[in-house]
Amino acid sequence: MPQKIAAGNWKMNGMRASLDEARAVASGAPDGITTVLCPPATLLAAMPEGLAAGGQYCHPAVKGAHTGDISAEMLADAGASHCITGHSERRADHGETDADVRAQTEAAWRGGLIAILCIGETLAEREAGRTLDVLMGQLDGSLPEGAGPANTIIAYEPVWAIGTGKVATPDQVAEVHDALRGRVGPDMSLLYGGSVKAGNAAELFALVNVDGALVGGASLTAADFLPIAEALAAS
């Protein structure tokens, strides 16, 4: 059975004062699911007990002359158990390719982290009817040999739904997640991401192959994030 996972991606948001929100999430996190917050790396070591913490990216190397980068081993040393790889903002801002994402995912595993590997189509690709081809191509290029439920979570994040307030319809999500289930097997957790909020979470979590969410904006406060985690626990 796939694990149910409510994951939050704080992106480049959060000062030490934001740890109050993380503490509130930790103390309110429902039983029966895994709750993960991925804060900026500056806050990882200060994350509270009671929830899992993740990085947002890792360099393929263990260490070395890579100014400004961070390794999976460093994230783990700071308390991370998870690491996002292949987020579309990294692909766009830093030109990360599927091959880069594969190397980062392998690095996450090497560092003992569970990779939350993100894939997603652009609006132009969806409108051209290429959604499933694009997603399967991204998986072929970025999902390493040896991926399984113990080391990898897949997050389907349509690029056009991230931070836009446009959430994919349940039919759109179901079509993709059913295809992903066929590709990765019965036990790997499949998350949806893209403008998930308390008001739309329950109908997404009711879908048979949606095992949770990767949440951006609505993960920044406990008041927004906990109802999403609760909807998942109740699903």
- Catalytic residue numbers read 87, 157
Cβ-count burial 152-164 (b if 16+ within 10 Å, e if not): bbbbbbbbbbbee
Task: Kindly state the smallest distance separating residue 97's Cβ from ligand PEP, in Å.
Answer: 19
Interacting residues with ligand PEP between 129 and 168 (CB under 6 A) = 157, 162-163
What is the nearest approach in angstroms of ligand PEP to the Cβ of residue 127?
A: 19
| Cβ neighbours of residue 12 closer than 8 Å, sequence gap 6 or more | 40
Nearer to ligand PEP, 88 or 182 (CB): 88
Which three-class secondary structure state does DSSP give residue 136? Answer: helix
CA pair distance 210, 156, nearest whole angstrom: 10
What's the min distance (Å) between Cβ of 217 and ligand PEP?
Answer: 4
**DSSP structure class, residue 59:** B
Q: Does 196 bind ligand PEP (CB under 6 A)?
A: yes
Q: 215, 222, 228, 232: which one contacts ligand PEP (CB under 6 A)? A: 215
In whole angstroms, the minimum distance from the beta carbon of 145 to ligand PEP comes to 26
Q: Where are the beta strands (DSSP E) in the chain?
A: 5-9, 34-38, 52-55, 82-85, 114-119, 152-156, 190-193, 212-215
Query: For residues 197 and 228, is the Cβ–Cβ distance under 8 A?
Result: yes
Part in contact with ligand PEP (CB under 6 A); list of ranges 22-30, 108-116, 173-181, 194-202:
194-202
Footprint on this chain of ligand PEP (rule: CB under 6 A): 9, 157, 162-163, 193-196, 214-218
